[in-house]
C-alpha cells in the first residue's frame, strides 16, 4: 500500500533506501560474527592452555611433594661393620642382614669414568631429564603396543633409586606411578650428583656386594680411584643382571656387557676414541680371592655389633696387633707342616700384654681352611694341659707350707687310692730320684713330688679353688672328681684362660681377665692371689736353664736368647702339647695337637709347642728389649745342699752345692756334720728306705740311709681299705683270689693274719683270699705301731 500525500517516485526511493539500510545492517552483523568467532576460539585455547599448564605444574611440581620418599632414602646407606686391630688396620668386615656387604662412599669419591659408564649403561639422558625420561617412556609405550608385550624399560636412574630403596611390592601400574612421582620429588630436592652417589651406594653388583666401592674391592681388589675405564665399564654393566653377568662364573657375558657399555659411552659423549678402543681391548683380570686376612676367627669370635644408620661404618677396635698376628700365624703353619709326619696338624697361640692383659695375638688353628677342624678355635676349646698346672700347686705350697726353692721333696714310689682304684704315679721317664729340691721338681716337671705336695696341701680342693679364681671356668665344681691328678692336668682347660693365669704370675699374683676389645678396662683383683715372693721364685725356677737341663736339654726350643720363664705340658698318649711362658712384658701360650684327639707320634710339649712358643716370644720382643723381675729386697743369697736342703757354712766342703735366694724368715737350718756319713754322703730318713734299697736309686754315691733319723713318716695302709668286700668268681682266671696290700712305705710293714695265708714277696707280700671275714695286721718295725683292717670275702 502506498501512503497518501507522497509523490510516487519519492515513495519508491524511500523504499529502496530502507532496503539498502536493512541490507547494510545484515552485512554488518555478518561481519561482526566473522570477527567474533576467531576471538572466541582463541579465548577457549587460552583457557585450555592455562588449564593444561596449571595441571602440568600441579602434576610435575606440586603433586610429587604429596608422595613420601622411601624411608631408606632418608637415611645414609648402612655400611658393613668393621673390626680393626689396635692400630686401626681392618681385620674383618661383618655382613649386614641378608649376608650383604657394603662400603658406601662420598660424592667426591666417585670416579668420573664410573659415573659416565653408569649413566651410559642405565640412563643416557640422566643429566637432562627431571627424574622421568618422557622420550624413553613414549618409546617404551610404543614398543609395548606394537610388540604386544613389554620390550624395553624406561626407568631412569632416579626411578631405579626409588625402587631399590623401597620395600618389595608387586609391580603394578599404581606402584610405578608412585615411584615416578617420588623420583620427581627426589629430583627437586637433591642434586644430580647426590642422586647418582646414592644410586651407586645402593646398587646390587652380585655376590652379595652392595655398592660400587664394595664391588671394586671384591672383584678387582682395588679402590674406586684406581679403576681403569674398562673396569669402570665392567662394574657399570653388572647391575642389569648380577647373576647372569657374574664375571666369576660367566666372564664372556660380563665382557660382552662391558663392551656394550663402552659403545654406548662412545655414542653419547666426547670420550677419546683411542681410549675407548684400548678399554675395549683390555682383558678382564679379576682378583676374586680374598687377600690373606689376619685372625679369621674374629668375625665369629666377637659379639655381633649393634649398628645405627651413619655414614661411617661401626668400628670395633680390638687389641690384636695385625702384623704380629700374621707373623705368628705363619710360625704356626710352618711348624705344624714340619711335624706333619708326626701327626701334628693343629695348633693355637695366645699372646698377652701382661700390664694391660690385652690379647695381642690369638691364632685359632694352623689353617682356617682345613676341612678337618680348621675353623675350630683352639684357644677356646678345653684340652688337657698336662704338667702346665704344676706351677700353681707350688705357688700354694710356697705360701701355705712355707716352702722355698731349697725345700726337699720326696720323689719316691707313692701309691694313692683313687675312686678308680689304686694308682701308682710315675714320672715321665719312669724314674724316681729320691730327695729333690722344689726347684728341681718344678724345673724338671716331676709328677710324684707335685702329687705329694698337693696331697700335703689337703687334696685337690685348694688347687681347684685357686684355678677357678684365676678364671679357669672348665673345671666344674667338684674338686674330688679330679683328685690329686688335677696338678698333672687331668682337667680340661682353655688356652686363653691358662695363658692369662700365667700372666698373673708375671704380675705378682694380681689377676685380671684377658681383654680383647680395646679401651676395655681390666680391673685388678685385690689383694693378690699369692705373695710377690712366690711369683718371683716360680719365675726364677721356670727360667733356670741349668735346673731343667736334666730333663730338657740345653740349646732346645725353651732356651730363648733372653731370660724367659717357660713351662711345658704333655697329656696322656701325646694328645696335647703345651708350652706357656712369660717375661715381665708378655705372656705366650701355645697348644699343639689334633682337634679330633688323635695322638701324635712321641711329640712332647718341647718338640711340638716349644718351637712355636720360642718364635712367638722372640717376635714380641723384636722391637722391645726384654727385662727381668727385680729380686725382692728381703732375699739373701745362700749356699744350700740340694740333697737335704740345708744351708752350708761358708767354709763347708761338700760334693754338691747350689745357691738360692731365700729370705731370713725362711732360712733353712745350717748343715751339721751329723747330716753326712764319713764319705760325705747325705743321710736320709727312713721314708726313703724303699727307694734307697730299690732299683730306682741311681744316687748311692750321694745319699745314704740314716737309721737313727728322728723323723719317721707314719705307716699308712692304702689298700685294701678297712671293711672292703672281695668277691671270688670261679670263672675268673687263676690268681684272682690273691691280694697284694699297699702302704705308703713299700717293703717296710710286716703283714700277718690269723685266718689267711700270707706268702712273702717284694715289695709287699701276697695274701691268699678265702671266704669269710678276716683281719689283716700291718706292723711298723721302726716303732712297733700296728694298723689292723677287716676284709670280707664271698664267693659269687
C-alpha 726 chain-centroid distance: 53
pLDDT digits (tens, 9 = 90+) for 184-204: 888 898 999 999 999 999 999
Task: Name which residue leads in pLDDT, 441 or 29.
Answer: 441
Task: Say what the pLDDT of residue 621 is.
Answer: 97
Determine the average pLDDT of the residues in 501-516: 95
Task: Name which residue leads in pLDDT, 288 or 490.
Answer: 490
With 50 as the cut, is the pLDDT of residue 680 above it? yes
With 70 as the cut, is the pLDDT of residue 306 above it? no
pLDDT digits (tens, 9 = 90+) for 576-612: 999 999 999 999 999 999 998 888 887 776 788 999 9
Picking from 113-117, 141-145, 203-207, 320-324, which range would have the lowest pLDDT averaged per residue? 141-145
With 60 as the cut, is the pLDDT of residue 89 above it? yes
Task: Say what the pLDDT of residue 113 is.
Answer: 93
The cell 659408564 sits on which residue?
A: 117
Q: How far is 24 from 716, CA to CA, in rounded Å?
A: 157
Task: Say what the pLDDT of residue 168 is.
Answer: 82
Instruction: Please report which confidence band the pLDDT of residue 309 belongs to, taking 50, 70 and 90 as the band edges.
Output: very low
pLDDT digits (tens, 9 = 90+) for 54-68: 877 777 788 888 888
DSSP 58-119: IIIIIGGGGSPPPGGGGSPPPPPPEEE-TTS-EEEEPPBTTTBEE----GGGS-HHHHHHHH
pLDDT digits (tens, 9 = 90+) for 534-569: 999 999 999 999 999 999 888 888 999 999 999 999
Task: Say what the pLDDT of residue 152 is.
Answer: 56
Tell me whether strands 682-684 and 101-102 are parallel, antiparallel or unpaired: unpaired
Determine the average pLDDT of the residues in 305-320: 66
Q: How many residues does the chain have?
A: 796
DSSP 219: I
Picking from 161-165, 414-418, 493-497, which range would have the lowest pLDDT averaged per residue? 414-418
Instruction: Please report which confidence band the pLDDT of residue 417 belongs to, taking 50, 70 and 90 as the band edges.
Output: low
Q: How far is 608 from 600, CA to CA, in rounded Å?
A: 9
Task: Say what the pLDDT of residue 304 is.
Answer: 46
pLDDT digits (tens, 9 = 90+) for 611-649: 999 999 999 999 999 999 999 999 999 999 999 999 999
Task: Name which residue leads in pLDDT, 23 or 2.
Answer: 23
Global pTM value: 0.77
Task: Say what the pLDDT of residue 526 is.
Answer: 67
DSSP 522-571: -PPPSS-SS-HHHHHHHHHHHT-HHHHTTTS-TTSTT--SS--EEEEEE-
With 80 as the cut, is the pLDDT of residue 35 above it? no
Q: Which three-class secondary structure state does DSSP give residue 757?
A: strand
Amino acid at each position: 500500500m502506498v501512503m497518501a500525500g507522497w509523490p510516487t517516485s519519492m515513495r519508491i526511493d524511500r523504499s529502496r533506501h530502507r532496503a539498502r539500510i536493512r541490507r547494510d545492517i545484515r552485512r554488518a552483523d555478518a561481519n561482526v560474527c566473522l570477527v567474533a568467532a576467531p576471538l572466541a576460539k582463541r579465548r577457549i585455547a587460552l583457557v585450555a592452555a592455562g588449564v593444561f599448564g596449571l595441571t602440568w605444574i600441579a602434576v610435575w611440581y606440586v603433586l610429587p611433594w604429596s608422595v613420601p620418599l622411601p624411608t631408606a632414602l632418608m637415611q645414609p646407606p648402612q655400611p658393613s661393620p668393621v673390626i680393626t686391630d689396635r692400630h686401626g688396620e681392618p681385620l674383618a668386615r661383618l655382613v649386614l642382614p641378608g649376608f650383604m656387604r657394603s662400603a658406601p662412599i662420598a660424592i667426591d669419591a666417585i670416579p668420573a669414568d664410573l659415573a659416565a659408564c653408569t649413566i651410559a649403561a642405565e640412563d643416557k639422558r640422566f643429566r637432562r631429564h627431571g627424574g622421568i625420561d618422557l622420550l624413553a617412556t613414549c618409546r617404551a609405550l610404543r614398543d609395548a603396543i606394537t610388540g604386544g608385550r613389554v620390550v624395553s624399560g624406561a626407568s631412569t636412574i632416579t626411578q631405579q633409586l626409588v625402587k631399590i630403596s623401597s620395600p618389595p611390592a608387586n609391580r603394578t601400574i599404581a606402584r610405578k606411578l608412585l615411584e615416578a612421582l617420588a623420583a620427581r620429588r627426589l629430583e627437586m630436592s637433591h642434586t644430580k650428583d647426590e642422586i647418582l652417589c646414592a644410586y651407586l651406594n645402593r646398587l646390587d653388583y652380585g655376590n652379595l656386594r652392595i655398592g660400587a666401592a664394595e664391588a671394586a674391592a671384591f672383584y678387582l681388589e682395588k679402590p674406586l680411584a684406581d679403576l681403569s675405564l674398562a673396569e669402570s665399564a665392567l662394574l657399570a654393566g653388572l647391575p642389569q643382571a648380577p647373576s647372569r653377568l657374574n664375571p666369576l662364573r660367566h666372564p664372556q657375558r660380563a665382557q660382552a656387557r662391558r663392551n656394550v657399555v663402552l659403545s654406548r659411552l662412545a655414542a653419547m659423549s666426547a670420550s677419546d676414541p683411542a681410549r675407548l678402543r684400548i678399554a675395549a681391548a683390555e682383558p678382564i683380570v679379576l682378583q676374586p680371592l680374598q687377600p690373606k686376612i689376619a685372625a679369621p676367627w674374629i668375625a665369629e669370635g666377637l659379639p655381633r655389633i649393634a649398628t645405627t644408620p651413619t655414614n661411617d661404618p661401626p668400628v670395633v677396635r680390638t687389641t690384636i696387633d695385625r702384623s704380629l698376628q700374621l707373623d705368628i700365624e705363619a710360625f704356626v703353619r710352618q711348624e705344624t707342616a714340619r711335624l706333619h709326619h708326626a701327626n701334628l696338624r693343629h695348633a693355637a697361640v695366645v699372646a698377652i700384654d701382661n700390664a694391660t692383659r690385652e690379647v695381642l695375638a690369638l691364632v685359632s688353628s694352623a689353617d682356617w681352611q682345613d676341612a678337618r677342624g680348621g675353623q675350630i678355635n683352639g684357644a677356646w676349646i678345653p684340652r688337657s694341659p698336662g704338667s702346665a698346672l704344676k706351677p700353681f700347686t707350688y705357688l700354694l705350697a710356697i705360701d701355705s707350707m712355707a716352702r722355698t726353692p731349697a725345700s726337699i721333696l720326696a720323689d719316691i714310689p707313692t701309691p694313692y687310692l683313687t675312686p678308680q682304684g689304686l694308682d701308682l704315679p710315675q714320672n715321665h721317664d719312669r724314674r724316681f730320684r729320691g730327695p729333690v729340691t722344689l726347684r728341681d721338681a718344678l724345673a724338671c716337671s716331676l709328677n710324684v713330688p707335685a702329687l705329694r705336695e698337693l696331697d700335703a696341701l689337703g687334696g685337690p680342693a685348694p688347687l681347684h679353688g685357686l684355678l677357678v679364681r684365676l678364671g679357669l671356668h672348665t673345671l666344674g665344681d667338684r674338686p674330688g672328681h679330679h683328685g690329686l691328678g688335677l696338678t698333672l692336668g687331668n682337667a680340661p682347660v682353655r688356652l686363653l684362660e691358662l695363658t692369662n693365669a700365667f700372666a698373673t704370675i708375671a704380675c705378682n699374683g694380681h689377676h685380671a681377665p684377658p681383654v680383647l676389645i680395646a679401651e676395655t678396662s681390666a680391673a685388678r683383683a685385690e689383694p693378690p692371689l699369692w705373695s710377690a715372693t712366690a711369683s718371683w721364685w716360680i719365675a726364677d725356677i721356670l727360667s733356670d736353664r741349668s735346673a731343667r737341663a736334666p730333663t730338657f736339654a740345653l740349646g732346645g726350643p725353651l732356651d730363648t736368647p733372653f731370660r724367659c720363664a717357660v713351662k711345658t705340658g704333655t697329656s696322656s698318649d701325646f694328645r696335647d702339647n703345651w708350652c706357656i711362658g712369660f717375661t715381665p712384658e708378655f705372656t705366650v701360650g701355645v697348644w699343639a695337637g689334633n682337634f679330633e684327639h688323635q695322638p701324635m707320634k712321641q711329640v712332647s710339649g718341647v718338640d711340638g709347642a716349644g718351637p712355636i712358643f720360642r718364635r712367638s716370644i722372640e717376635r714380641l720382643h723384636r722391637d722391645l728389649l726384654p727385662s727381668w723381675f727385680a729380686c725382692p729386697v728381703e732375699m739373701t743369697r745362700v749356699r744350700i745342699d740340694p740333697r737335704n736342703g740345708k744351708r752350708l757354712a761358708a767354709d763347708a766342703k761338700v760334693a754338691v752345692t747350689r745357691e738360692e735366694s731365700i729370705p731370713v724368715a725362711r732360712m733353712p737350718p745350717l748343715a751339721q756334720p751329723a747330716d753326712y756319713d764319713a764319705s760325705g754322703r747325705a743321710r736320709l730318713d727312713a721314708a726313703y728306705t724303699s727307694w734307697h734299697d730299690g732299683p730306682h736309686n741311681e744316687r748311692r754315691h750321694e745319699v745314704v740311709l740314716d737309721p737313727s733319723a728322728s723323723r719317721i713318716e707314719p705307716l699308712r695302709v692304702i689298700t685294701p681299705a678297712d671293711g672292703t668286700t672281695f668277691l671270688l668268681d670261679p670263672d675268673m682266671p687263676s690268681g684272682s683270689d690273691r691280694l697284694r696290700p699297699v702302704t705308703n712305705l713299700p717293703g717296710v710293714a710286716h703283714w700277718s693274719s690269723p685266718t689267711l695265708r700270707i706268702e712273702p714277696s717284694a715289695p709287699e707280700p701276697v695274701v691268699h683270699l678265702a671266704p669269710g671275714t678276716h683281719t689283716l695286721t700291718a706292723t711298723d718295725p721302726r716303732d712297733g705301731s700296728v694298723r689292723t683292717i677287716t676284709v670280707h670275702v664271698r664267693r659269687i
